[in-house]
Chains A and B, each alone.
Chain A
Amino acid sequence: MTTSNFRPMQRRDFLRKLAITTGGITVGGSLLAACGGGSSTTSDGLSIGTPQNPIKLPVSTDPIADGLANESGTLEILNWADYMNPESIAAFETKFGVKISTSIYDTEEAAVAKLRNGTFKPDVILGMTDTGLAKLIAADILQPLNKSYIPNFGNVISGLRNPYYDLESQYTVPYFLYGNGIGYRTDVIDKSAFAQNGYEVLWDTKYKGRLAVLDSYRDTLAMAIFRNGGNDANSSDPDEIKKAGEALIEMREAVNPKVDILGYQEIPAGNRDIQFLWSGDMFTAVQYLPEGVDPGVLGFWYPETTVTKNDFMCITKAAKSPVLAHQLINFLSDTDNALLNREYVGYQPALETITVDMLLASETIPESLVDALVTPEKYEIGLAQVTLEPEVDALWLEQWTAFTAG
């Protein structure tokens, strides 16, 4: 299904664009058509797009009609913790005269399960990625977007306006960009520690009890695969998956890691020294530094072999306020609003109008965290992570359960 050494055309192109940082030529369409962007539906019914084999997702309902009035009342959001600036929320509430109420999810698979069984009934989902998208589509949870409500869609990085996981962006609009790597305290660990297979530092008993990995089976197991020398973030090789699981168990025995997504709070608080996390977390972490602490204590190692990706916003089929939901997506895709949102969240918005150079020039990025920025070059090297076939997924989950069961 996937191979480890693909070099997605549209991705490289987008990077070139990002590097140049001007213009608005859409890359995707024609190129992808040339790649034969047909659907790659599995026998089980999951529509999985890969950079090699992009997919146009099936559509079971029409988008909402054009020109509808905004609903009043409450807009329900499902989001990661600390993944939208409270000031942005307030600004949206004021602008549209509504209330936003946010439910939180900690793992993508739990969110998918709870969306399916009705625990969560949001209008908008923020921060999902293509590792969960195929399941959301198969469960018929999302509604196609009506782009006439989202004029700011044009701000999105051109290469992501027609992404491999959702050709023509029928359901999704990119939100933030990030890459997986290691955040650490520079006052405890020197940069040079990561010089050779930096992933090994996570197995270093020096940091026993002061170390954590992401509570995300896809990310953390993929990290173990990379550490073992592999480079397939979507491996379907049972042996490779098993070895990754064993490596994590070895880590557990050696350093007693925590498994959570709280690195952005715990590292600045000084409660832990090092964590495998999403690059954007370290920018969020700046927010959480105790008063008077130099942001220079926060460091990030960006691996050569790692996952880079974007997450996205989407609207549920059962949304009670679909127009407002579109408005929120449009609102967050506005350059100024995205910058305000970034001030708090820290992650890089997936907008063409917000470039790496611009962020560097803004002097909001501590010197020690420049490495955590996803530059076009890094994005090019980065591997994509897609929904797994159910049988393969079971293998991954099996290893993950063995690891987390301690």
Chain B
Amino acid sequence: MINRLRGRRTSALVYVIWGYIIWSLVPVIIAVIYSFNDGRSRTVWQGFSFRWWWQDPNASVFQSSEMRNAIINSLVLAVATLLVVTPLGVALAIGAQRISGRGTNVVQGLTSAPLITPEIVVGAALLITFTRLFTAVPLGFTAQLLGNVTFSLSSVVVIVRARLVSIGPSFEEAARDLGATRWQALRFVLLPMLWPSVMASLVVVFATVIDDFIITSFLSAGVSSETVPLRIYSSVRGGATPALNALATLLVLTSFTVLIVGLFGLSTWRKRHGERGGMRAALADVTRMSS
């Protein structure tokens, strides 16, 4: 009886879920398809071509200097943020997990606050700071880098701390019992075990930064620091050509490439180190941010 009832409810929900999946993905897929439109329009199909990808000598994604510029800016910003935020975040995670005494609350509060502060607040505050207080920091790449590191630092901390909790102190204690110094235990036992969380945070931070709009936009300084999302934002309305769709498609492809490489990396690591979970655990690592 119960099973039959449950079965019926489930089947009704299957339609809902398929409906949702279609609703959430089809518009994007259409936008991708229109990047191959032969005409200037982003809404009326005029035949298939690679005109807006590379054939048009000025306006296509790979030929337009502005679009290429935006792609390069996006990639450079994302990689630079990773380089700064990863060591900073891992150290902070270890420190915040184990710190005691005075100042603990400050550290805990500071590391969790950016996670739930809306970006516009962070962006606006940093804009004011860089234009009025820390005026030595020029708007543009430097400010965008500092802003993105600030905003993504907490996600690294959360991901790494979750891993620290699941590892527990016993491995390090064992190493210490065997004569390792505290530093050696950290370096040769703990850090290698943190690797999956580091990898997950690399993926998450890369995707966050490359997709970031608000902070990057508030802290930009004109075209020299225009990233892909900024470019999309400024030209969505009006007469932009399907090259814009192509540019957006590239952005999505980049995120997914990083995600998939990250997922395979994580599940391979898990397999090699005899941890269970495989793909699903890897997915959980990467999406931990959301839950």
Contact = CB atoms under 8 A, between A and B. Distances in A.
Interface in B94-114: none
B162 interface: no
B117 interface: no
B119 to A, nearest CB: 19
Residue in B131, B135, B221, B222 with the greatest tally of chain A CB atoms within 10 Å? B222
26 contacts: A76-B224, A101-B223, A101-B224, A102-B223, A103-B221, A103-B222, A103-B223, A103-B224, A104-B222, A117-B131, A117-B132, A118-B135, A118-B138, A118-B139, A118-B221, A119-B131, A119-B220, A119-B221, A122-B222, A266-B237, A269-B239, A288-B239, A290-B40, A290-B41, A290-B44, A291-B40
Contacts of B224: 76, 101, 103
Interface in A44-88: 76, 78, 81, 86
A81 B226 CA distance: 14
A194 interface: no
Given A101-B224, A103-B223, A119 B139 contact: yes
Interface string B25-43: 0000000000000011100
A40 interface: no
Interface residues of A, number: 23
Residue in B40, B132, B220, B224 with the greatest tally of chain A CB atoms within 10 Å? B224
A121 interface: yes
Interface in A108-150: 117-122
A103 B221 CA distance: 8
A262 interface: yes
Dominant secondary structure of chain B at its interface with chain A: loop
Contacts of A117: 131-132, 139
A262 B237 CA distance: 8
B139 A265 contact: no
B184 interface: no
B125 to A, nearest CB: 15
B291 interface: no
B238 interface: yes
Given A118-B138, A265-B238, A291-B40, A86 B58 contact: yes
Contacts of A268: 239
A120 B58 CA distance: 26
Interface string A348-383: 000000000000000000000000000000000000
A224 to B, nearest CB: 24
A101 B40 CA distance: 24
A119 B222 contact: yes
Interface string B108-144: 0000000000000000000000011001001100000
Interface string A274-303: 000000000000001011000000000000
Pick the 10 closest A-B CB pairs, nearest first: A103-B222, A265-B238, A265-B239, A117-B131, A288-B239, A103-B223, A119-B139, A262-B238, A119-B221, A101-B223
A117 B131 CA distance: 6
Contacts of B221: 103, 118-121
Contacts of A266: 237-238
A291 B238 contact: no
Contacts of A119: 131, 139, 220-222
Contacts of B237: 260, 262, 265-266
A341 to B, nearest CB: 16
